[in-house]
Chains A and B, each alone.
Chain A
Amino acid sequence: MAILTGRYGSVMYTPGTPPGGVEAEIISLNAWKADFSADYEDVTAFGDTNKVYVPGLPDVSGSLGGFWNSAELTLFHAAVATVPGTLKLTPNKNEATFFWEGLAYIDASIDCTLAVPKVSGNFKAAGPWTGPDGNVL
């Protein structure tokens, strides 16, 4: 175990339709971010000496980013899909058993300027997700 670079990260996607779709890497991406923060309910009562909270369910949402590549349209196909696909986010493929995975809806956008056009997308969970230890989040 060591701290590894994100240079060998990956974003894999399996379309939701047709069922049994093939998992493939979304190429030309160079960033992803996932957020599992929970909402907290304030349950502070008379007599408490500090505020007290109870967590709700963790969120599962995040973003993807990279460069526009006309050979890679997965992100834009996913953005208009009515059935969620399976997203698999790996920090470093040299530790291929450590990843987050689950059903997700994805949107997509493109930012085209005089520099290299960039693509990005946001995702939100559409079902249960598993974490890097294989457990449900």
Chain B
Amino acid sequence: MPRDSGELDAALVGLLQGDAALTALQPDGVWLDDVPPGAQRFVMVAVLEATDGATFGAGRAFEVVRYRVTAVGHTAVVTGPEIRAAALRIDTLLQDAALTVGGYPAGVTIARLGRVRLLEVDDEDRSLRWYHRGGVYELFAPN
């Protein structure tokens, strides 16, 4: 029976959600794929790419998942230094993390491939901006 790859997403999101320091910096939560309306200071997680490594006999031997993990904040409620601190907290939690994940007895490891930093103009008020800071993280999961 194949492993439930959704457990990988849940483990990464759960790690971020369970950190009080990150919650204090980004109080609107950690979200995968979508963010609720009204959120202005949150962590966004998105799966950029997921590939499987296959071998003869064993079938799927491992999974490699690349996530974009960014602290997102609206300039109405957050400053650049605060978003920077949130991105650093994300990196502290994820860089070289070794997680225990249900259904993956060998555990998983995470490392950053590169960082993300961009400024987005607000659609409704062009005098305001959205900060996005964080990184692209690669999760390696032996099956």
| A residues with CB within 8 A of B | 7-11, 25, 27-30, 66-67, 93, 116
**Closest 3 pairs (CB-CB, A-B):** A30-B55, A9-B56, A28-B55
Contact of A116 among B53, B56, B58 (CB under 8 A): B53
Whether B57 and A67, one on each chain, are in contact in the complex, defined by CB atoms closer than 8 angstroms, is: no
| B residues with CB within 8 A of A | 53-59, 61-62, 64, 140
Whether B57 and A66, one on each chain, are in contact in the complex, defined by CB atoms closer than 8 angstroms, is: no
Residues of B within 8 A of A9 (CB): 56
CB distance from B64 to the nearest CB of A (A): 8
| A67 with B56, Cβ < 8 A, contacts A28-B61, A116-B62 known | no
- A93→B64 CA distance, assembly (Å): 27
* Most central of B53, B57, B64 by chain A CB within 10 Å: B57
What total count of A-B pairs have CB within 8 Å? 36
Residues of A within 8 A of B53 (CB): 30, 67, 116
- A7→B64 CA distance, assembly (Å): 19
Residues of A within 8 A of B58 (CB): 27-28
- Pairs A–B under 8 Å by Cβ, sample size 8: A7-B54, A8-B57, A11-B56, A25-B57, A30-B56, A66-B56, A67-B62, A116-B140
Residues of B within 8 A of A30 (CB): 53-56, 61
CB distance from B66 to the nearest CB of A (A): 12
CB distance from B121 to the nearest CB of A (A): 36
Whether A29 and B61, one on each chain, are in contact in the complex, defined by CB atoms closer than 8 angstroms, is: no
Whether B62 and A27, one on each chain, are in contact in the complex, defined by CB atoms closer than 8 angstroms, is: no
CB distance from A24 to the nearest CB of B (A): 11
Residues of A within 8 A of B55 (CB): 27-30, 66-67
Q: A29-B56, A30-B53, A116-B53 provided; 8 other pairs, C-beta below 8 A?
A: A7-B56, A8-B57, A11-B56, A27-B57, A27-B58, A28-B58, A66-B56, A116-B140
